[in-house]
Amino acid sequence: MSVESAGDGRVNLLGFERAGLEAFVAGLGSKPFRARQLMQWIYGRGESRFTAMTDLAKDFRAQLAQHAEVRAPEIVTTQRSADGTRKWLLRADATQAIEMVYIPEESRGTLCISSQVGCALDCSFCSTAQQGFNRNLTTAEIVGQVWLAARELERDFVPPPGASPGQRAITNVVLMGMGEPLANFRNVVPALRVFTDDFGFDISRRRVTLSTSGLVPQIYRLAEEVNVALAVSLHAPTDALRSELVPINRRHPIAELLEACWHYLDEQNGRSVTFEYVMLDGVNDQPAQARELVRLLKGRPAKLNLIPFNPFPGTRYRRSPLPAILRFRDELLAGGVLATIRRTRGDDIDAACGQLAGRVSDRTTVRLGNRLIGVAVQP
């Protein structure tokens, strides 16, 4: 876990999962239950001012004010789409920014957050890849996105007509923004725990989704660490094509990736893995390719989510026409594989999948052996 400090020695409490906060509180000479009280203030009520946390002892509040802070990323800009989608540009440092998107629907509100500044995986159809990679976000920056969005949204949230009683603005969190979450395993895992913790955001495990391009060893590790829903960017039925679209496939081919997915479900008692499949005109959208997918996934606990490609400047791909997408879906359904089409939201503000570019000014990627390690270089 990375614990972020303001530079004045104060520790950002958003960087702690419950166990870490208990240890921190113990270090100040307080009992572990104080950590749970603190979490109720921070996550239950969105409070950042220790002076307002009135059921904590005065001395303890004073200690907290001296040694700790609750600090979310700063908002650079906010945009609203005609369909209600909102996109925030958030400061990562002096020159760089990440993006976060909120997608309201009838019965849920989904927050899509980032895990890295840029991305090192170089998928050919993704605009984040074009930005290059700068650095991993800290746990506090990952948790801070949800904390900030909850505060911003709850202010004027009116539950939609179909909402369940007490429904909050954010019901689902997906790690589908900028970055490859499993390449930032160390900081992402504690954040996932804060999302699902009763004293954290208290979101059901099935409503927190980590999406990965297919870092196989980390999928095995994840299975031992947390219990959240898994989405995997598949995008092609064969290794030849997938290696072209998602280069990590050269290291971890489809058969290995699928084994890791089934293992994950076994360990987690999960129901199914969602496979994302971006629909690229003339590249991966042919009926024969749907039938190949059926051969791969039939009888498996898998759902396919077809994502119409979202174009961005400079891309060589085009979105599959709607009839081709429908035909592809029908071919999958006829073959006995569950498939849905993801509705494109927020594309008028470039908030749709794969359009999150943020601002990545330093693109330093150092390859060390087999691992990709990003190094932040200050301008």
The interface region with ligand SAH, picked from 64-72, 123-131, 143-151, 156-164 by CB under 6 A, is 123-131
State the nearest-atom distance from the C-beta of 296 to ligand SAH, in Å.
17
Listing DSSP states for 36-62 in one string gives HHHHIIIIIS----GGG-TTS-HHHHH
Beta strands (DSSP E) in the chain are 11-12, 68-69, 75-80, 86-91, 97-104, 109-112, 116-118, 133-136, 172-175, 208-212, 229-233, 273-279, 302-308, 338-341, 365-368, 371-374
Binding of ligand SAH at residue 176 (CB under 6 A)? yes
Backbone angles phi, psi at 86, to 5 degrees: -125, 145
Binding of ligand SAH at residue 120 (CB under 6 A)? no
The interface region with ligand SAH, picked from 155-163, 292-300, 303-311, 368-376 by CB under 6 A, is 303-311
Residues 6+ apart with CB under 8 A from 328: 279, 285, 286, 287, 289, 290, 306, 320, 339
Binding of ligand SAH at residue 180 (CB under 6 A)? yes
| CA angle (74 as vertex; 72, 77 as ends), nearest 5 | 135
Out of 88, 125, 195, 201, which residue is the one contacting ligand SAH (CB under 6 A)?
A: 125
Binding of ligand SAH at residue 100 (CB under 6 A)? no
Out of 126, 228, 260, 349, which residue is the one contacting ligand SAH (CB under 6 A)?
A: 126
Binding of ligand SAH at residue 284 (CB under 6 A)? no
Q: Which residues are tagged catalytic?
A: 99, 353
The interface region with ligand SAH, picked from 122-130, 139-147, 261-269, 320-328 by CB under 6 A, is 122-130
Cα–Cα distance for residue pair 93/76, rounded to 1 Å: 11
Nearer to ligand SAH, 71 or 86 (CB): 86
| CA angle (182 as vertex; 180, 184 as ends), nearest 5 | 80
Out of 353, 357, 360, 372, which residue is the one contacting ligand SAH (CB under 6 A)?
A: 353
Binding of ligand SAH at residue 309 (CB under 6 A)? yes
State which of positions 216-235 bind ligand SAH (CB under 6 A): 233
Cα–Cα distance for residue pair 341/323, rounded to 1 Å: 12
Backbone angles phi, psi at 50, to 5 degrees: -65, -30
State the nearest-atom distance from the C-beta of 375 to ligand SAH, in Å.
20
Nearer to ligand SAH, 126 or 143 (CB): 126
Q: What x-and-dash track marks residues 52-91 binding ligand SAH by CB under 6 A?
A: ----------------------------------------
The interface region with ligand SAH, picked from 10-18, 28-36, 304-312, 320-328 by CB under 6 A, is 304-312
Helix axes 185-196, 139-155, angle to 10 degrees: 40
Nearer to ligand SAH, 67 or 359 (CB): 359
Nearer to ligand SAH, 37 or 213 (CB): 213
Cα–Cα distance for residue pair 245/122, rounded to 1 Å: 9
Cα–Cα distance for residue pair 315/130, rounded to 1 Å: 10
Beta strands (DSSP E) in 185-268 are 208-212, 229-233
Nearer to ligand SAH, 58 or 316 (CB): 316
Nearer to ligand SAH, 30 or 128 (CB): 128
Nearer to ligand SAH, 72 or 280 (CB): 280
Strand partners, 329: none
The interface region with ligand SAH, picked from 72-80, 118-126, 155-163, 200-208 by CB under 6 A, is 118-126
| CA angle (220 as vertex; 215, 223 as ends), nearest 5 | 120
Binding of ligand SAH at residue 354 (CB under 6 A)? yes
Classify burial at 364, counting beta carbons within 10 Å of its beta carbon; exposed 0-12, middle 13-18, buried 19 or more.
middle
State the nearest-atom distance from the C-beta of 57 to ligand SAH, in Å.
43
Among residues 154, 190, 181, 155, the alpha carbon closest in space to that of 169 is found at 154
What SS3 class is residue 274? strand
Which residues would be at the binding site for ligand SAH (CB under 6 A)? 123, 125-127, 176, 180, 211-213, 233, 276, 278, 307, 309-310, 353-354
